[in-house]
């Protein structure tokens, strides 16, 4: 029996002006064998790839079930939406995909800092809208099932191996804790001016980011901006997470997105791509961001959060 999934892809790319952002419906058909055994995503054997079939244990040398899952399900699901930047480096994106399923598997499993961890610990799931789109719910389901299979197979924290490591705190939880540790007064004193910061030729941040477009929320309402930056995905513009070698959550670090965004090389072609306006934040605003992030991290590290 054949099964097909219809995905609506939301795209908001191709123009600097958010007024021009549109919802572009795109149709992708994923077919696979469906034997109706209800095992859900992740056990399919259809499609291309290295062809591990059935429910055998990981094969040595010639790939694994998780690898086969990536190549037959994950790659086709994200190649178009994510590969446009993450296979090419366009827009300054880090490269963790490639043009073929197997080269992409090599790239994504070799990427540092690693994305291979249970979904609750992986930045692949926990990045959301940024320069690129968020994963759609369907894509997120496919990617999550694969990450869980990798964790199982590699015996990572949260994986269901013979000797599962205790999961401990997750990146997901750490982001919530960081949010609860953010302080409105501290934000007002240090970051109230950020939305009004100027770019070289395209006006103030708030002119484009007043509703959170591009995953950056900077409106002229300080309380609202504070509240939104406590939430995912906006909080990722302040901090990001790392995992250690067994896939357990390791730490939160400043992501410096508000500072670095304006400084990054603008090597893209403005005719065809969405290039961000250049800016260099005034020292006071830069220090303000660092103060908010570092003080919050310090409270969080010292268990001094409310």
Residue 10: how many CB atoms within 10 A of its CB? 16
Tell me whether residue 93 or residue 116 sits nearer to ligand HEC (CB atom): 93
Q: With CB under 6 A as the contact rule, which of the stretches 64-72, 100-108, 123-131, 292-300 interacts with ligand HEC?
A: 123-131
Binding mask 12-31 for ligand HEC (x = CB under 6 A): -x--x---------------
* 131 makes contact with ligand HEC (CB under 6 A): yes
d(CA 175, CA 239): 8
Whose structure tokens read 């930045």? 123
Does position 288 interact with ligand HEC (CB under 6 A)? The reply is no
Q: Is 89 exposed, middle or buried (0-12, 13-18, 19+ CB in 10 A)?
A: exposed
Q: Give CA separation, 2 vs 32, 33, 51, in Å.
A: 6, 6, 18
Question: Which positions from 245 to 284 touch ligand HEC by CB under 6 A, shown as an x/- string?
Answer: ------------xx--xx-----------x-xx-x-----
What's the min distance (Å) between Cβ of 37 and ligand HEC? Answer: 29
Q: How far is the CB of 67 from ligand HEC (least distance, A)?
A: 19
Contact (Cβ atoms closer than 8 angstroms) between residue 257 and residue 217: no
Nearest-CB residue to ligand HEC? 132
Give whole-number Cα distances, 250 to 84, 104, 242, 245, 295, in Å: 30, 25, 5, 9, 19
| Euclidean distance between CA atoms 269 and 91, whole angstroms | 9
Our CB check for ligand HEC shows the closer of 276 and 299 to be: 276
Q: State how far the Cα of 108 lies from the Cα of 82, in Å rounded to an integer.
A: 12
Interface with ligand HEC (CB under 6 A), residue from 30, 93, 145, 179: 93
Please report where in the chains the tokens 């605003």 appear, as a residue: 285
Asked if 127 touches ligand HEC (CB under 6 A), the answer is yes
Taking CB under 6 A as the criterion, the residue among 10, 84, 138, 219 binding ligand HEC is 84
Residues 7 and 22: beta-carbon distance below 8 Å: no
Q: In this chain, which stretch among 99-107, 122-130, 146-154, 173-181 interacts with ligand HEC, using CB under 6 A?
A: 122-130
Q: Which of 32, 86, 121, 300 binds ligand HEC (CB under 6 A)?
A: 86
Distance, in Å, from the CA atom of 237 to the CA atom of 256, rounded to the nearest integer, reads 7
Report the Cα 115 to chain-centroid distance in Å: 9
Q: Which of 132, 158, 159, 288 binds ligand HEC (CB under 6 A)?
A: 132
Among 118, 179, 216, 292, binds ligand HEC (CB under 6 A): 216
The contacts of residue 39 (CB under 8 Å, 6+ apart) are none
208 binds ligand HEC (CB under 6 A): yes
58 or 133: whose CB is closer to ligand HEC?
A: 133
Cα–Cα distance for residue pair 185/190, rounded to 1 Å: 9
Least distance to ligand HEC, CB of residue 207, Å: 5
User: Is 85 near ligand HEC (CB under 6 A)?
Assistant: yes
- The encoded tokens of residue 272 equal 């065809």
Chain residues that interact with ligand HEC, rule: CB under 6 A: 13, 16, 78, 81-82, 84-86, 90-94, 113, 123-124, 127, 130-133, 135, 197, 199, 202-203, 205, 207-209, 214-216, 237, 240, 257-258, 261-262, 274, 276-277, 279
């Amino acid at each position: 029996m054949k099964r097909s999934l219809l995905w609506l892809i939301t795209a908001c790319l191709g123009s600097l002006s958010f007024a021009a952002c549109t919802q572009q419906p795109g149709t992708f058909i994923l077919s696979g064998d469906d034997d109706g055994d209800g095992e859900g995503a992740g056990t399919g054997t259809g499609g291309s790839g290295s062809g591990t079939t059935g429910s055998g244990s990981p094969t040595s040398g010639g790939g694994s079930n998780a690898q086969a899952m990536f190549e037959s399900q994950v790659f086709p699901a994200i190649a178009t939406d994510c590969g446009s930047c993450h296979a090419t480096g366009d827009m300054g994106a880090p490269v963790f995909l490639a043009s073929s399923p197997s080269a992409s598997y090599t790239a994504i499993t070799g990427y540092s800092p690693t994305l291979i961890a249970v979904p609750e610990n992986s930045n692949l799931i926990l990045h959301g809208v940024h320069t690129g789109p968020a994963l759609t719910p369907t894509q997120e389901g496919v990617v999550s099932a694969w990450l869980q299979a990798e964790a199982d197979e590699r015996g990572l924290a949260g994986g269901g191996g013979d000797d599962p490591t205790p999961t401990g705190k997750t990146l997901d939880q750490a982001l919530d804790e960081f949010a609860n540790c953010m302080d409105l007064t501290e934000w007002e004193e240090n970051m109230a001016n950020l939305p009004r910061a100027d770019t070289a030729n395209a006006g103030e941040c708030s002119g484009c980011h007043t509703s959170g477009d591009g995953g950056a929320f900077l409106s002229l309402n300080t309380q609202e901006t504070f509240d939104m930056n406590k939430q995912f995905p906006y909080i990722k513009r302040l901090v990001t997470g790392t995992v250690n070698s067994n896939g357990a959550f390791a730490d939160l670090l400043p992501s410096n997105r508000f500072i670095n965004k304006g400084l990054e090389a603008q090597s893209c072609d403005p005719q065809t791509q969405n290039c961000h306006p250049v800016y260099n934040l005034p020292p006071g605003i830069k220090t303000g961001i660092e103060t908010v992030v570092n003080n919050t991290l310090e409270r969080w590290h010292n268990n001094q959060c409310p």
